[in-house]
């Protein structure tokens, strides 16, 4: 009987510890809003847009979707300028903040539910009634700002089909013209679409002739532009004191002030990465939609990984899920290779309850044990897709425990 109690207590503690680790991990995610730039004048635009709208969101970020997936610019020579102007015109920073505080479109009131959820704050910890100026747990608001709001990102993906056919087509036209074989007014060469929501279903070009020629070499070029919500103590102070109001005592003046604020919430440009999708295996690909989805999903994952290589603040963290072997659920999708190195971080809390990271060691992936977690890797039936996590070996440090977070070192 005594043994039973010991086992029960140990098990309960383990569950509690695991739950705590999971919640800490959830807490530490950045929030990401992904958009794409569309190009109706380019081939496969509708297909790419459809696929982008249905692609799984990156699972290591909180989804900060604001309702608009794609934007089109009249002129596309300078996309950074375009995106900046778009952000300003639609007041995207303000919309991001509105989402964070769950703004009610009708009343203009805010609440702290999403902050609580993403920050893993319980009701006692964040017993804050800002509207009535009874602010308790102020350090948690600061913590929320530092850990949550200032890690709100926008990634705008400029995706287009790499078309190698055009030059050849023009040459062919010249040849035909020269030999008087040209049909003077040829039908449009695009993937004609009907009115179906899914262009991949309605386009007969995709179902019949010419399909395989295009599909085998289907490639996209993706440039991803990373922006970050600007959030600091000054902005937070202004927001909480002058603009934040919540039900049931909605302050109409504050609602109006928020509506009228134009320059308080802005995004800053962090940087960009650019890639052309690599050759894609047709293993497991059954439909055209599968292929476009696979090419686009992998290209987008590659760009997200590259943004993380390049910009430290944007790097994700993942928990160690086992010690023997050392294992975490990240892999090739995060662009991991044998040269990758990860710091192991221990979470500590200061006297105010603020969370800090302490580096306690470095690990690297074990050769041949890198998990292939890329989109549709399982359908390709590659052995690495069955690993269910990447195995690591220690480079330095020690006394790791499950739930510690790992983060890539550049």
d(CA 353, CA 390): 33
List 320's β-bridge partners, or say none: 328
Q: Does residue number 196 form part of the binding site for another protein (CB under 8 A)? A: no
Residue pointed to by tokens 């102070």: 237
Q: Does residue number 118 form part of the binding site for another protein (CB under 8 A)? A: no
Which of helix, strand or coil describes residue 257? Answer: helix
Choosing from 15, 17, 54, 81, the residue that interacts with another protein (CB under 8 A) is 81
List 62's β-bridge partners, or say none: 31
Shortest distance, position 130 Cβ to another protein, whole Å: 19
d(CA 40, CA 287): 23
Q: Which stretch, 14-22, 162-170, 302-310, 389-397, contacts another protein (CB under 8 A)?
A: 162-170
In the complex with another protein, the residue whose CB is nearer, 86 or 357, is 86
Q: Does residue number 204 form part of the binding site for another protein (CB under 8 A)? A: no
Residues 218/285, Cβ–Cβ less than 8 Å: no
In the complex with another protein, the residue whose CB is nearer, 94 or 294, is 94
Residues 231/149, Cβ–Cβ less than 8 Å: yes
Q: Does residue number 137 form part of the binding site for another protein (CB under 8 A)? A: no
d(CA 38, CA 111): 34
Q: Which stretch, 19-27, 85-93, 313-321, 329-337, contacts another protein (CB under 8 A)?
A: 85-93
Q: Does residue number 173 form part of the binding site for another protein (CB under 8 A)? A: yes
x/- letters, 310..349, toward another protein (CB under 8 A): ----------------------------------------
In the complex with another protein, the residue whose CB is nearer, 25 or 86, is 86
Q: Does residue number 257 form part of the binding site for another protein (CB under 8 A)? A: no
Q: Which stretch, 94-102, 274-282, 331-339, 359-367, contacts another protein (CB under 8 A)?
A: 94-102
Residue 326 is given by DSSP the state E
Q: Does residue number 209 form part of the binding site for another protein (CB under 8 A)? A: no
d(CA 279, CA 295): 9
For residue 68, report the phi and psi dihedrals to the nearest 5 degrees.
-115, 120
Residues 388/355, Cβ–Cβ less than 8 Å: no
Residue 382 is given by DSSP the state -
Residue ranges binding another protein (CB under 8 A): 40-41, 65-75, 81-82, 85-86, 88-90, 95-96, 98-99, 103, 105, 166, 169-170, 173-174, 176-177, 182, 184-190, 192-195
């Amino acid at each position: 009987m005594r043994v039973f109690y010991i086992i029960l207590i140990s098990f309960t503690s383990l569950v509690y510890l695991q739950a705590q680790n999971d919640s800490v991990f959830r807490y530490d995610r950045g929030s990401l809003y992904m958009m794409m730039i569309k190009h109706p004048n380019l081939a496969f635009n509708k297909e790419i847009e459809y696929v982008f709208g249905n692609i799984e969101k990156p699972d290591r970020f909180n989804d900060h979707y604001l309702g608009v997936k794609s934007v089109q610019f009249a002129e596309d020579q300078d996309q950074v300028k375009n995106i900046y102007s778009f952000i300003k015109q639609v007041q995207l920073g303000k919309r991001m903040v509105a989402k964070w505080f769950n703004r009610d479109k009708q009343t203009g009131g805010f609440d702290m539910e999403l902050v609580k959820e993403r920050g893993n704050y319980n009701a006692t910890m964040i017993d804050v009634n800002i509207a009535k100026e009874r602010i308790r747990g102020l350090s948690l608001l600061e913590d929320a700002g530092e850990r949550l709001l200032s890690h709100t990102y926008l990634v705008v993906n400029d995706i287009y089909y790499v078309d190698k056919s055009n030059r050849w087509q023009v040459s062919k036209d010249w040849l035909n013209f020269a030999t008087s074989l040209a049909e003077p007014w040829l039908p449009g060469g695009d993937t004609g679409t009907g009115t179906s929501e899914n262009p991949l279903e309605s386009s007969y070009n995709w179902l019949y002739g010419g399909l395989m020629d295009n599909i085998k070499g289907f490639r996209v070029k993706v440039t991803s532009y990373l922006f970050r919500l600007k959030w600091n103590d000054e902005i937070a102070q202004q927001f909480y004191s002058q603009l934040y109001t919540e039900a049931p005592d909605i302050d109409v003046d504050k609602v109006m002030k928020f509506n009228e604020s134009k320059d308080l919430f802005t995004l800053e440009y962090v940087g960009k990465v650019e890639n052309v999708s690599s050759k894609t295996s047709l293993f497991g690909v059954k439909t055209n939609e599968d292929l476009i989805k696979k090419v686009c999903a992998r290209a987008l994952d590659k760009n997200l990984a590259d943004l993380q290589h390049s910009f430290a603040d944007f790097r994700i963290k993942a928990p160690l899920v086992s010690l023997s072997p050392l294992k975490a659920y990240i892999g090739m999708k995060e662009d991991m290779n044998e040269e990758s190195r990860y710091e192991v971080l221990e979470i500590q809390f200061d006297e105010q309850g603020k969370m800090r990271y302490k580096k306690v060691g470095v690990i690297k992936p074990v050769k041949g044990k890198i998990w292939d977690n890329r989109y549709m890797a399982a359908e390709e039936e590659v052995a690495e897709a069955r690993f269910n996590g990447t195995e690591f070996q220690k480079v330095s440090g020690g006394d790791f425990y499950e739930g510690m977070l790992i983060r890539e070192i550049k």
